[in-house]
Amino acid sequence: MAGVSLKCGDCGILLKSVEEAQEHAELTKHSSFSESTDPVLNLVCSSCGKPCRSKTESDLHTKRTGHSEFVDKTLESTAPISLEAPKVKEDVIMEEAGDGNSSSQQEETVVPEVDQKLLEELETMGFPKARATRALHFCGNASLEAAVNWVVEHESDPDIDEMPLVPVNDKKSEAPKPSLTPEEIKMKTQELRERARNKKEEEEKQREREREKERIRVGKELLEAKRIEEENEKKRLIALRKAEKEEEKRAMEKIRKKLEEDKEERRRRFGLPPEDPTTDSKPSAPVVVEKKSSLPVRPATKAQQMRECLRSLKQNHKDDDAKVKTAFDTLLTFAKNVATNPNEEKFRKIRLSNAAFQDRVGKLKGGVEFLELCGFEKVEGGEFLFLPREKVDIAVLNTAGNELNTAISNPFFGVL
């Protein structure tokens, strides 16, 4: 691919033509140039059409005008570079003589002398050499800040990127402008650094204020989310209590019907006449006893005892659902192993001091009691739980399995 620019081997800047390379060499004394396939950047402002040849120029333009949209026309303006040396142009100035006769005189023009250190700093910042030279020339090589301010104020000039030329005579006749002393340069540099530090501190304070506002906003959102979560938890508990009450009510109604059926069955068995319905409307003794007494009634059947034991276990450890579920699963495994393999003694004997057993079942109130309802007995001074082979009751173990499955699958079991 043909070269589209010239690259300075000393500072790395990209140049559009051989003429720019010659001017750059005269100003910087750099002599190593090579063809490059990287094009010179050409960013055109979408608002005013101002071309910028570097990111620094576009940032300065944005800071001054507020224009932030740029169109990259680098590829449109890119063309193979010509390596032919340009011809030297001479300006012909016509001067009229006092006697009416005119004569032509060629006057030589040269690039004005500027502070090379300031020029190198401007080029390092990304300014083209022609623009940097023009800025230093017209600001009198005062300072780096003065040159940057001049560029900002005159960046819309049509000849901003043209190298300034002054006549040799004018250059010689003009007295050089006084340059800053080292003390003044040091003071100016210190002032610029102080301004930059103050600006940085102010920006950091502003960012800290914004971060504090963000922390306050996030804190309020977290408090609001926590409040909503607590309200939802209260509603969920109320719904669970209501569902548990409904379940208890249905269970009590079922028991009441069962008791009535058993009562009628006994009357038929003994040949007694059916109970007079008119007596049902009168307050019955059991109702009065139920209202006056708050003592819990011990369940009569094995299934009810097991259910009450599991409900007690869950209520005693209601703050740790994972531990309760582990206990239920472990008890179900014990009952299933014995029911499936009643002849295996290893399934019918449990060491109470076993760490895994204690962590899953032994430490939970109601766990050992449930195993005793299944037929296990404490032996050897209370060191083991043992279920003798002759006392293995498959029906009891099946009942235990059913109660455990119900406790595991029912989300409302033992909530109240």
Q: How many domains does the chain have?
A: 3
Residues 235 and 202 reside in one and the same domain: yes
Kindly report the pTM of this predicted structure.
0.31
**Final residue belonging to a domain, choices 179, 207, 234:** 179
Residues 115 and 208 reside in one and the same domain: no
Is the alpha carbon torsion for 318, 323, 329, 335 positive or negative? negative
Residue 184, in any domain of the structure: no
CATH code assigned at 306: 1.20.58.2190
Task: Quote the domain boundaries for residue 329.
Answer: 301-416
The whole-angstrom separation of Cα 397 and Cα 337 is: 10
Question: What would the DSSP string read from start to end of 40-98?
Answer: PP-EEETTT--EESSHHHHHHHHHHH----EEE-TTTT--PPP-SPPPPP-EEEEEE-T
Q: What are the distances in angstroms from CA 17 to CA 33, 40, 356?
A: 11, 10, 85
The whole-angstrom separation of Cα 362 and Cα 160 is: 90
User: CB under 8 Å to 408, separation ≥6 — which residues?
Assistant: 325, 328, 329, 332
The pLDDT of residue 103 is above 60? no
- The whole-number pLDDT of residue 295 equals 45
Task: Return the higher-pLDDT residue of 109 and 83.
Answer: 109
Give me 190's structure tokens: 């210190």
CATH code assigned at 96: 1.10.8.10
The whole-angstrom separation of Cα 1 and Cα 226 is: 65
Residues 262 and 305 reside in one and the same domain: no
What digits encode the pLDDT tens for the residues 112-135? 888 888 888 888 888 888 888 988
Residue 119, in any domain of the structure: yes
What digits encode the pLDDT tens for the residues 23-43? 878 877 787 878 777 777 888
- The whole-number pLDDT of residue 280 equals 47
- The whole-number pLDDT of residue 97 equals 41
Between CA 288 and CA 297, with CA 293 as vertex, the angle to 5 degrees is: 110
Residues 156 and 207 reside in one and the same domain: no
Provide the pairing of β-strand 43-45 with 70-72: antiparallel
Q: In what order do the strands lie in the sheet with 14-15?
A: 14-15, 5-8, 33-36
Please give the distance of CA 243 from its chain centroid, rounded to a whole number: 41
